[in-house]
Amino acid sequence: MSAVRASLLTRHSVLPGFGLALGYTLLYLSLIVLIPLSATFFKSATLGWDAFWAVVAAPRVLASLRLTFGASLAAATLNAFFGLLVAWVLARYDFFGKKLIDAFVDLPFALPTAVAGIALTALYAPNGLIGGLLAPHGIKVAFTPLGIVIALTFIGLPFVARTVQPVLKDLEAEFEEAAACLGAGRWQTFRRVILPAVAPALLTGFALALARAIGEYGSVVFIAGIMPMISEIAPLLIITKLEQYDYAGATAIAVVMLLISFALLFAINALQWWASRRHQELSA
């Protein structure tokens, strides 16, 4: 009898409308996420295994996948470092023009990606403002993998900065002062006090920046150029196959990107869970 009463109390303690809200959530996710992804897998399955492997193992496809994921990882790593630095400055210091710089951080969110790509190309082209200064030294940015990394870094910075900034604001300065009183240096304080506290948020921002970079097209297509085996990203190759009405080939490349992205994000989430659990154990 007591077990039934406890079960009833547990059931009625849930907020009203839970069943209806859960149903709408599953319906929304199915229509927006699950069904389109399933259609991608079903369309690529029409190729058969041999044809599917022939598409995804082609040298041009492999080169585009290596470039896409390599540049995305490089850009997300840069954003993890500089995003933490930007968030630290905005969260811990007061200075003239702070609100203006804070607004600039969100600019990649509001700026159309095609506009960002054209602006970056104009700046880093050999006759551009920055590219013209680098060209005499033999450094070419536009239409190279380096230009792709710069474009992906531009669009991914806000994800890290905006994820870490609230955590730094909530982090009490007394912990740092206590560490200093105990004789810890600046690097020890950062490594043992600050970094464990912001590590879960930093990994979240890294994952968001990585996911955005992998699927980015608009800001990259102009500065990358259309040079197969050199600066052709996988999303551009998918668009090319769609324009050629090769829908099965396009979805085959998309499926490979999806599986690799899922594996990377799963590993990052597992690392984030471990970092959060480790921080709780140290705090206890």
**CATH of span 48-283:** 1.10.3720.10
Answer for the pair 142, 124: CB distance below 8 angstroms, yes or no. yes
Residue 95 structure tokens: 């200075």
The domains of the chain are located at 14-45, 48-283
- 143-148 long-range contacts, CB within 8 A, separation 24+: 143/223, 143/224, 143/225, 143/227, 143/231, 144/230, 144/231, 145/67, 145/70, 145/71, 145/230, 145/231, 147/120, 147/121, 147/223, 147/224, 147/231, 148/67, 148/71, 148/220, 148/223, 148/224, 148/231, 148/233
Model confidence, pTM: 0.83
pLDDT of residue 221: 87
> Mean pLDDT for each consecutive 10-residue tract of the chain (284 residues)?
50 64 86 85 86 91 93 94 91 86 87 87 89 88 90 92 88 69 71 79 90 88 83 89 89 91 84 73 62
